[in-house]
Amino acid sequence: MLRSAVTITTLCIAIVGTGIFAAGGYLKSKTWAETASVDQPLFAEISTTSTQGLPTAASSTAKLSLPILVYHIVRPSYPSDDAAVRRIAVTPQTFDEEMSYLGNAGYHIVSFNDLEDHFRNGTPLPPHPVILSFDDGWSDQFTYAFPILTAHRYTATFFVFTNAVGGQGFLSWDELKSLVAAGMTIGSHSESHPFLTHVVSTDALWNEIDGSKQILERRLGISVNEFAYPFGAYDPAVITMVQRAGYRSARGDFFSGDQEGDRLYALSAMNAPTTTASFEQRFPIR
Ligand SMILES: [Zn+2]
């Protein structure tokens, strides 16, 4: 099962770049898509781009440097890990070093809620803010990353897709409750992790976006305010539905470290560097 879990992860990551093309109207950079090892046939399946503008939900539209780091695999490396896995896998030791470095280098970990309050209400942020997020709900994140986060007194957001919760290799509901109890945020990553831009049925799309929110809120007794588009793929119809479901922001494409107040439903994110050296290069000492 572990092998299949890893395969799924690889698939998720490999076609993140393709999702960007689905949202080409908002494209700012081609860095990830150009460098990722993508599955070419999947490119061909992507729907065409839209140039429709994003809805504005903010009082401030200023650009803000606020990198949103995305982690998928945090666990010891295995000899069987292929190149695609190694590209996104971070060992616990490296993760610990990255977390130590952030604090020592002058960065401050904030939450999506902090970002939302900043853009919506003008609430100040600490200098050099960074958001930590984890995707897809792999149980390794609980086993290896969670203790390191708590040791550093950092909070992070875990985006899970509800159909996977409790499955082998994935976080259980009890583990999610433990994350919540420790101050972590749980966000929705849909029900079944589809390309939302390919879901034809409005009811099915609503289930993915709102249904997952309802399930998480009911099972965990929390309010779920953040959404992460599977594969980073979205279009104006998807964004409208995410807003209608009551989310306060949504994490989208995978390129820059900047955020803008009129892109609260297309927040920019970046896959976390997998070596301490590359991490330190990306986050210079402040
Ligand atoms: Zn995902």
Could you report the per-residue pLDDT of 86-117, keeping only the tens digit for each?
999 999 999 999 999 999 999 999 999 999 99
For the chain, the average pLDDT equals 83
The answer to whether residue 183 scores a pLDDT higher than 50 is: yes
Section 143-156 average pLDDT: 98
Asked if 280 contacts 93 with a C-beta cutoff of 8 angstroms, the reply is no
Q: Is residue 2 part of a domain?
A: no
Using the mean position of ligand 1's atoms as its centre, give its distance from the Cα of residue 9 in Å.
Answer: 8
Instruction: Look up residue 257 and give its amino acid.
Output: G
Cα of 270 to ligand 1 centre, how many Å? 13
Residue 68 belongs to some domain of the structure: yes
Distance 124 CA to ligand 1 centre (A): 30
Q: pLDDT class for 26, splitting at 50, 70, 90?
A: very low
User: What is the whole-number distance in angstroms between the Cα of residue 12 and the centre of ligand 1?
Assistant: 5
CA of 8 to the centre of ligand 1 (A): 9
Q: Give per-residue pLDDT as tens, 31-73.
A: 232 233 333 222 111 222 333 344 445 566 678 999 999 999 9
Q: How far is the CA of 258 from the centre of ligand 1 (A)?
A: 21
Q: Locate tokens 């860095």: which residue?
A: 31
Query: Other C-beta atoms within 10 Å of 283: how many?
Result: 20
Q: Tell me which range, 24-28, 43-47, 256-260, is most confidently predicted by mean pLDDT.
A: 256-260
Question: What's the rounded Cα separation, in Å, for the pair 92 and 205?
Answer: 36
**Does 1 reside within a domain?**
no
Mean pLDDT of the 183-199 span? 97
* 72 Cα: distance to centroid of ligand 1 (angstroms): 8
CA 146 – CA 151 distance, rounded (Å): 9
Q: Burial, 4: exposed, middle or buried (Cβ in 10 Å; 0-12, 13-18, 19+)?
A: exposed
The whole domain housing 149 covers 11-282
Q: Is residue 6 part of a domain?
A: no
- Please give the average per-residue pLDDT across 219-238, as a whole number: 97
* Chain centre distance of CA 266: 11
State the distance from the centre of ligand 1 to the C-alpha of 232, rounded, in angstroms: 8
Domain containing residue 122: CATH number: 3.20.20.370
| 258 — pLDDT class (breaks 50, 70, 90) | confident
Number of domains in the chain: 1
| Residue scoring higher pLDDT (244 or 18) | 244
Distance 201 CA to ligand 1 centre (A): 21
* More confident site: 177 or 45: 177
The continuous run of DSSP H or E covering 211 comes out as: none
Is residue 5 in some structural domain?
no
Q: What Rg do the C-alpha atoms of the chain give, in angstroms?
A: 17
* pLDDT at residue 280, rounded to an integer: 97
pTM value surpassing 0.85: no
In which band, very low, low, confident or very high, does the pLDDT at 243 lie, cut at 50, 70 and 90? very high
How far away, in angstroms, is 209 Cα from ligand 1 center? 14
Query: Is 55 part of any domain?
Result: yes
